[in-house]
Amino acid sequence: MLAFRTPQYNVAPHSAFRSQRQRQDSCLSSFASTFVVVNNIDTYLATTRSDLAVRARLSLAPFSQSELWNRIIREGVQPKWTQSKPQTQQHRPKNHKSSEAHAAAVRRHVRKDQLEGQYLVIDDRVLELWPEVFISPVDVVGKAAGDTRMINDYSYPRRAAVNDFTDRENFPSIAYKPPRDVARRLHDLRLSYPDEKVLLMFGDVSGAFRHVPVHEEYVLIFSFMLTATWVIDLSCGFGWCGSTVFYSLAATVFHDIYEQAAIADDVLSLGQLRGNVWCDAHICVEVDHGDRCSSANLTLCQALATILDPAAISDKNFTAWWSQDKALGLLWNTATGTGSIPEDKLTKALR
């Protein structure tokens, strides 16, 4: 059987913090006026997940990579380090200046993840107890529509960063082939069903790497400072070289579920659904026949909720089904069966 992902991140940096697994009241005490901590079983959540399992017929087969993903969910990612990694950090770098310019946004991010069990936030005086701790600087980068993203710069300082000490030979193998696979899928459908409308849907997972926990003995390597506050990341962070690799295991499993779903087809022989994944981006190309596209969308959401968490599904991160859209940096036209490079990228490349 496949392990179900739960919203709580049952990992902690040290045995002294194992009670973090029950989301100890102390983490929320300062927000008691907003959040109420109860000890009763959440019967609504239990019923909701039971309904999901029944409706989706989740007697899951042994999908590829499911055993390794199950182990990660139960135990957390256990990175291996190169021989060049020192026992203790020789120099603890300061945060990048961008974090100071966006201090309010950084603190909002930390507060949110603290309440959601993603971060363990404690006073810096605890650092004296664990000399093996590694501190990485915080950086802030821009996003679309003027938004910002906080990242942990695990590549700094050079030759003394977490990414430098990570043994990548330990990583499971992955094979990302979009946009080739998207183009091939589009070409095959256009060739096989020339008189049918073909549509494309693009979406990405909300907080993808946050659904991949780190083993409690290793989280001390993934931390950062905010003045006198020490923040420990309990899951794979945006900025660590292993996050994409270990998330890909989850993507493989729920794409297996997606592609093996039974889709009713009493007129055309369209076969099984086909999905394409690039990191946390998911691209679906299907013939617009009957309710096939809407069924594909529902099936993908069910797979995401089963393997990751219902919180991984965000309506704003999923497009509608269109004949023209931009995905993976290319412009796709399902009517003509083509993918093209945007003009601004061509202009930039020719400079």
Structure confidence by residue, pLDDT tens digits, 63-83: 556 788 889 999 999 999 999
3-state secondary structure (DSSP) of residue 284: strand
Sequence ranges of the domains in the chain: 32-175+211-239, 179-206+247-350
Percent of the chain with pLDDT over 90: 47
Structure confidence by residue, pLDDT tens digits, 268-281: 678 889 888 888 88
State the DSSP H helix or E strand holding residue 285, giving kind and residue range, or none if neither.
Answer: strand 281-287
Judge whether residue 107 has pLDDT over 50: yes
| Nearest partner of 114 among 20, 240, 36, 40, judged by Cα | 20
CATH fold for the domain made of 179-206+247-350: Alpha-Beta Plaits (3.30.70)
Identify the sign of the CA torsion 48, 49, 50, 56.
Answer: positive
Identify the sign of the CA torsion 272, 282, 332, 348.
Answer: negative
Phi-psi region of 333 (alpha: psi -120 to 50; beta: other; left: phi over 0): beta
Higher-pLDDT residue of 327 and 97 is: 97
3-state secondary structure (DSSP) of residue 317: helix
- Longest CA pairwise span in the chain (Å): 70
First to last CA, the chain: 54
Judge whether residue 291 has pLDDT over 60: yes
What is the pTM for the complete model shown? 0.76
Edge-to-edge order in the sheet of strand 275-278: 198-204, 281-287, 275-278
pLDDT band at 41; cut points 50, 70, 90: low
- Per-residue pLDDT at 106: 93
pLDDT band at 132; cut points 50, 70, 90: very high
- Per-residue pLDDT at 53: 59
Structure confidence by residue, pLDDT tens digits, 89-105: 989 999 999 999 999 99
Percent of the chain with pLDDT over 70: 79
Helix pair angle (66-75, 243-259), 10° resolution: 130
| CA dist., res. 277 & res. 81, Å (int) | 28
| Residue 343 identity | E
Structure confidence by residue, pLDDT tens digits, 167-218: 999 898 877 777 889 999 999 999 999 999 999 998 888 888 999 999 999 9
340, HSE (Cβ side, Cα atoms, 13 Å): 10
pLDDT band at 57; cut points 50, 70, 90: low
CATH fold for the domain made of 32-175+211-239: HIV Type 1 Reverse Transcriptase; Chain A, domain 1 (3.10.10)
Q: Name 151's bridge partners.
A: 139
pLDDT band at 48; cut points 50, 70, 90: low
| CA dist., res. 348 & res. 172, Å (int) | 35
User: Considering the chain, what is the average pLDDT of its residues?
Assistant: 82
